Amino acid sequence: MKKFILKFVSFAICAVMLVTSMAGCGKTAAIDVTSLLPTAKIQEGVINENSNFVLSWNNDEKCVVLTDKATGVQWSTTPESYMNISKEEKQARQRNYLESAILVSYKMAEENAIADARAYTHSINKGTYSAEIKDGAVTVTYLFKDVEILIPVTYSLKEKGMSISIDTSKIVENENMIYSIQVAPYLCSAPHGQADSYIFYPSGSGALIDISKPVTEKMTTSSEVYGNDVARKIKDKQTNEKNVYLPVYGIKTGDNAVLAIISSGADSASINATVADNVTGYSSVCANFDLRNSDYTYIKSGSGSDSELYSDERLEKAVFTVDYYPLSGENANYNGMAKLYQEYLYGNNDAVSNVEDSVYSLKFIGGLGQQKNFIGFPYKSLLSLTTYSDISNILNELSVTGVKPNIQLYGFGESGLDIGKIAGNFKLASKFGTKKELSNLTEYCKQNGIDSFVDFNISEFAKAGGGYNTFDTAKTATKASAYVYQISRGAHIPDVDNYSRHRLITRTKLDAIANKLLKKIGKYNISGVSFASITSNAYSDYTSDEYYAKNGMGAQVSGIANNYKQNGYSFAATGANVYAAQIADCIFEAPHTSSKQDMFTADIPFYQMVFKGKTEITSENMNAGESFETKKLYALETGSSMLFTLYNNYNESVTLSPYKDLYGGLYKGNKEIIINAGNEFKDYYSAISGQTIVNHELITKDVRCTTFSNGVKTYVNYSNSDYTVADGIVKANDYLVIK
């Protein structure tokens, strides 16, 4: 009885404590945001300067201005062309747009809807701002008093430009919760119709948006840096969709240009572009950073529908920074932007690297699940499409070309191409051959100068195993489990009828999985690894506040890759975002094109201009999609190794598979094409091996010229008509090389 009374009293105390704690878990007490606004307001004058630039405060416009000492050109959050017009003209325009250093989108209190607040209208124009100089930088604090939001923004001078930075931990808000912040919406802008001007937008390989011709129809685009959040439910997905692999953008106007590099917080950023805004009269491109995410969830109302719900939880441990680098004269174009970004990543080193460019590279498909039946009971088994011995034989047959290809082994885990247990259950399936056969293949590659990489999927799983289960699933912004779906090729929506969904592993355990795999693969004689699932995809995980809004994905993946390299493995990336591409020994499937949006005027090989000569890069799959002849020109234009995706043993299950890599991939149908390519282009690739791209020219939209660092010039003609250039005639759908 005594024990019962003690238990009852303990229960009662716990109940009281629980009720008390719940009473305190309601809305946080309101903050007096106004009282947090610093009082300092600097006057007109210089903030900092170096040998190249002056950073100053314009007190009329209440903005920071960067002045290029060599040219006198000014760059600011308020466009130079707008700052210099009369007050009467300004009053006739939308000051709240062009004079707003930031634009805040916030979730309105008590409503699941988004509204906007502009720095000029809600802060500058009302005098609710401050400006303080410290350590050669100025912090401008914008108080949006009406919506009770306070955001400090720091502007600092760099050797070759300036940076704008926001520390999310210093942002203050009450009931209106910030969803995203556009930084300097009009620093990279120009009046539309201004001669000799374009926007550089980093979709896929890269794209230009011509803004030199007056247009009446407003067009906009926005793409998440590093691709759409994989954890977010997909409503639809276009087949030509490409990642923004590089966190850069820019604008050219006549003899001047500026390149913007998102140097921190890129994981949580999008890049927004607007052409022919009829309110401002400007076209522009800028970075937009998310503090919160949203997801679609099914709400049963009437017929039922998916509704977008915004998270209340905020990213508080991040710094968002955009660096701006002015360019002038002959460097004021996308060539100058690419060279500057290459130097940003690799340093100013123009020496020929030890990169050895191959004519072709090979991606071998291991296997996939096959539906079988045993006395009326269906089951799935692993179908072997390519064995280790098959690969050895294929490499031996193709050795007649003298080419040393990069090879990738893809889908060789326990479930092949299918998503099963995490990391293929940390093993290579025995159906593809013995450890001895794998060792023979690895040794053959080493002896013949062939770089080989085995791919493991360490972020997606469908079954429990290897120490991980459904409780280890990442969480979306609505705290639901994060799933990945196969996309219907016809309707471009998740295909829930024919294919099973699978899960994303929580990012809190991604490093542990990579470390476990590192130990497990020690029993195999392999020299290189690749992680296609995380080098081209980024995702949020609301399991931990470290990973809200995709935060930290780049640092996490590069840390994993560097750990493998430090342990003696070479590392390859697939369709790689910059955080993986920069440290990869080979980039497989570098993007050929942009997403081909209507507002894009021309595609450019910006991606290859950055990485060619710094690491080995391959083309997209040559034997799927567009014609081989067109893809051949893409590869020659950029010096990319021609990638062929292959499997050796045909089975009817291939035709039922959702994996596009299998179509046209049977080795015997590609053998002669590969051999012919090796023989025809061996001398060309030898001539440009290890060379960087120093200039790329759009002679016309379809006729292009690439100049490599040793002077080799390659013309390609994608049109159906011959074209005469200074060095000769480039035949229709053909190329011309000048050495």
Structural domain spans, the chain? 31-186, 364-459+505-681
Residue found by looking up tokens 């590969």 in the block: 674
E-strand ranges in 112-187 read 114-118, 129-134, 137-144, 149-158, 161-167, 172-173, 177-183
Confidence tier at 289 by pLDDT (50, 70, 90): very high
For 112-263, where are the alpha helices, taking DSSP H only? Answer: 119-122
Q: Which residues of 660-696 are buried (b: 16+ CB within 10 A; e: fewer)?
A: ebbebbbbeebeebbbebbeebbebbebbbbbbbbbb
Token pair in block for residue 137: 């930088």
pLDDT at 8 over 50: no
Residue type, 8: F
Q: What is the pLDDT of residue 351?
A: 53
Percent share of the chain, pLDDT over 90: 77
pLDDT at 23 over 60: no
Alpha-carbon distance values, 552 to 319, 547, 549, 595, 729 (Å): 11, 6, 9, 25, 50
Phi then psi for 352, rounded to 5 degrees? -65, 130
**Calpha distance 326→53 (Å, rounded):** 10
Q: Which residues of 27-53 are buried (b: 16+ CB within 10 A; e: fewer)?
A: eeeeeebeeebeeeeeeeeebbeeebb
Mean pLDDT of 313-341: 96
Residue-level length of the chain: 739
Q: What is the pLDDT of residue 237?
A: 56
If one compares 236 and 723, the residue with the highest pLDDT of the two is: 723
Mean pLDDT of 572-593: 97
Lowest mean pLDDT among 19-23, 284-288, 395-399, 552-556: 19-23
Mean pLDDT of 289-312: 75
Lowest mean pLDDT among 30-34, 463-467, 490-494: 490-494
pLDDT at 499 over 70: no
Token pair in block for residue 696: 């790329």
Class of 364-459+505-681 in CATH: alpha beta
Percent share of the chain, pLDDT over 70: 89
Mean pLDDT of 472-496: 76
Alpha-carbon distance values, 636 to 100, 679, 700 (Å): 45, 14, 17
Taking only the tens place, the pLDDT of each residue in 140-162 is 999 999 999 999 999 999 999 99
Mean pLDDT of 674-679: 97
pLDDT at 238 over 60: no
Angle between helix 628-638 and 667-688 (nearest 10): 20
If one compares 347 and 308, the residue with the highest pLDDT of the two is: 347
If phi over 0 gives left and psi between -120 and 50 gives alpha, with beta otherwise, what is residue 276?
left
Confidence tier at 30 by pLDDT (50, 70, 90): confident
Residues 266 and 555 sit within 8 Å (Cβ to Cβ): no
Confidence tier at 11 by pLDDT (50, 70, 90): very low
Q: What is the pLDDT of residue 647?
A: 96
> How do strand 114-118 and strand 693-698 relate by DSSP bridges?
unpaired
**Calpha distance 148→470 (Å, rounded):** 40
Mean pLDDT of 180-207: 96
pLDDT at 236 over 80: no
Confidence tier at 487 by pLDDT (50, 70, 90): low
Token pair in block for residue 685: 């690739």
pLDDT at 617 over 60: yes
Taking only the tens place, the pLDDT of each residue in 108-146 is 987 778 999 999 999 999 999 999 999 999 999 999 999
Burial (CB count <10 Å: 0-12, 13-18, 19+), residue 399: middle
Mean pLDDT of 425-447: 96
**Calpha distance 460→484 (Å, rounded):** 8
Residues 532 and 497 sit within 8 Å (Cβ to Cβ): no
As a 3-state breakdown, the chain gives helix, strand, coil percent values, each rounded to 5, of: 25, 35, 40
DSSP designation for 242: -
Q: What is the pLDDT of residue 7?
A: 43
Phi then psi for 195, rounded to 5 degrees? -60, 150
Residue 714: which H helix or E strand, with range? strand 713-717
Q: Tell me the average pLDDT of the chain.
A: 90
Q: What is the pLDDT of residue 425?
A: 96
